[in-house]
Amino acid sequence: MTLPMIALLGLLVLMVVALIRHQERATAIFGGAMLVTIAVGWVSTETMLRNASNSGLMTLVMLVLISIALEKTSVLRRISSALFSPSVAGSTWRVMGFSALASSVLNNTAVVAALLNAVRSNKFVAPTKLLIPLSYAAIMGGTLTLIGTSTNLIVNSMFTETGHAGFRFFDFTLVGLGVLAGGMLVLFVMTWFLPSVATEKSTVNEYFVEAEITADSPLIGKSVEAAGLRHLDDLFLAEIIREQVIIRPVARYDVLQAGDKLVFSGNVEKVMVLKQFPGLILFADENGLATQSLTEVIVKEDSVLVGRTLKSTGFRARFDAAVVALRRDGARISGKLGEVRLQPGDFLLLATGPDFAARPNIAKNFYVLSGVTPDDMLAGWREKLTIWGFLGMITATVATGASLFVGSLFLLGALLFTGCLTVNEIKRRFPVEIWLIVTSALCIASAMASTGMADWISTFAGTSLSGHAPIVTFIGIFLLTYLLTELITNNAAAALMFPIAYSLSLGMGVDPFPMVMGVAFAASASFLTPYGYQTNLMVFNASSYQLKHFLLTGVPVAITYISLCILLIPRVFPF
């Protein structure tokens, strides 16, 4: 290996280590690596600009934007109401089936977010029996079509950059159906071992609500019992913070003083009861926002709030909202609400101002679960145009073989022209992270070509692997991609493994199609932990699950998924 090849290899190793340690900084890590390749001359600025405007990448971006309009239709809401019945088995199959089907054409994170509250509030089946199946089925459903998951589109964009035609819309479907059928069957069996929590009280009881006694409050000098704070409906006074001293547990005879911070836990739907006590103000009231209408959100993994306190973030100015309550599953929260350091997956209950819905940073920092939604829902002819326009685009692409890029370009233009999609929404939801990761990955692949590393890998494959069956290399690539997906993120794993898989297949003299298809399927799988994929984290924080529940359910599903992929991909797409 030459010195540039060794240096590039060192950069790739450093990237993997950084991604494992800092998953939430994937965009910065890929962007930094791209800048290094440009700085040392491995990639020219012309090549970088060509990669940034890759037709496959632009198709991915436009489809993500089109999905914004699809999310605003009533399809998911109307169908979700028919998913539940007294039959646990029937409800489970309907939830898994609809989640998988919807995820084949919509962003799976959006699908899970849309169904989350419906599952949690259904009156027939314990949500803990349905939430993990909801997430896992959405992941597997994304493998059914080219647009089912961003991972497929990322691999497609990198494949087209090599001069190939890319994937067709239904190239994934035959393998995807086999994997989905086997995975859902195993998943259904494993749901028998999931806990059955009949209500969601186990989750709402963890909410952390802070109220303060004002200087002129008539509660001053009264005991907790005399003030009427001891036997509130579904709210429990957990601690009193007096200056820097935390009083816990709170006794009925503890006397209240001006400036006391009262920390309650319980059902946030009862939080307005605290407003009935004169001289007792909620944390959000200090920001001057009304708390009659509340919005529940989840802090995203890459949010600017992670690791910071509410007081240090300028929350009101940044989001035109104030935090009423906070919940963190799996951990007890103590101390002042404004001084709690936020973590990915934290639930926040927000009192929102009039500008909240229009803020471009809401979607970047939160998953909005209920209450105020940033955009108006589509209805009437606009809803029909969005749904039929999308179906028409897919039909035309499949029937005529026309470019998906052209179809998505015209549909996006029609949605903008008719007001189904606004420029504000595009600015707020533009997939900057995916665009930068793919552009950086294409630049790294270009660096591998310019330094000779791609040729070296091909030569190595032609000499060292010539005596081995291609299936052996395929299995190795698949398992390594899957391991990276569990350790880092799905998009990052696909971006890193594609150039290696492609170069190996060329060196072995076999069709690269099944190799890159294996990368796409392996990078789409994340079943072992709640932290490896967004939908897993969402259902984890919306329930009383523990890590063992994901391992118990996920290990059999992962084994089934891997086995079926390794069996089916080479049969459907021979080397």
pLDDT at 507: 84
25 found inside a domain: no
Region 512-524: mean pLDDT is 91
pLDDT at 370: 62
**At 245, which CATH number?**
3.30.70.1450
Torsion from C-alpha of 34, 38, 39, 45, nearest 10 degrees = -130
Q: HEC profile for 90-116?
A: HHHHHHHHHHHHHHCCCCHHHHHHHHH
Which tokens is 143 given?
Answer: 């493998």
d(CA 338, CA 312): 8
| Token pair 């390794």 in the structure block, residue | 566
364 found inside a domain: yes
pLDDT at 270: 64
pLDDT at 201: 42
d(CA 337, CA 350): 13
Task: Specify burial of residue 366 (Cβ count, 10 A radius: 0-12, 13-18, 19+).
Answer: buried
178 found inside a domain: no
pLDDT at 407: 86
Question: pLDDT by residue (tens digit) across 147-202?
Answer: 888 888 888 888 888 888 888 888 999 999 999 999 999 999 998 988 887 544 43
160 contacts 55 by C-beta, under 8 angstroms: yes
Total domains in the chain come to 1
Q: 565: which residues sit within 8 A by CB, 6+ positions away? A: 175, 179, 478, 518, 521, 522
Q: 48: which residues sit within 8 A by CB, 6+ positions away? A: 34, 38, 439, 443
76 found inside a domain: no
pLDDT at 516: 92
Question: pLDDT by residue (tens digit) across 255-289?
Answer: 999 989 888 877 666 666 677 678 888 776 665 55
238 contacts 248 by C-beta, under 8 angstroms: yes
255 found inside a domain: yes
**Confidence at 404, pLDDT banded by 50, 70, 90:** confident
DSSP state of 273: G
68 contacts 114 by C-beta, under 8 angstroms: no
Q: Which of 69-78, 153-162, 306-315, 550-559 has the lowest mean pLDDT?
A: 69-78
d(CA 126, CA 545): 12
534 found inside a domain: no
pLDDT at 313: 85
d(CA 84, CA 124): 7
**Which alpha helices (H) appear in 106-146, and where do they start and end?**
108-121, 131-141
486 found inside a domain: no
Q: What angle do CA 300, 306, 308 make, to 5 degrees?
A: 150
183 found inside a domain: no
Q: Helices 88-103 and 108-121: crossing angle, nearest 10°?
A: 160
d(CA 289, CA 272): 14
Q: Is the peptide bond before 512 cis (omega within 30 degrees of 0)?
A: no
- Among 478, 472, 469, 526, smallest CA distance to 498 is for 478
Question: pLDDT by residue (tens digit) across 205-250?
Answer: 457 788 889 999 999 999 988 888 876 656 778 888 888 788 877 8
Q: Report helix, strand or coil for 211.
A: strand
Helices then strands (H, E): number in the chain? 24, 9
Task: Specify burial of residue 431 (Cβ count, 10 A radius: 0-12, 13-18, 19+).
Answer: middle
d(CA 383, CA 228): 51
pLDDT at 185: 95
Region 428-447: mean pLDDT is 82
Question: pLDDT by residue (tens digit) across 4-29?
Answer: 888 988 988 888 888 777 766 778 88
Q: Where in the sequence is the domain holding 259, given as residue range(s)?
A: 201-370
Q: What percent of the chain has pLDDT over 70?
A: 88
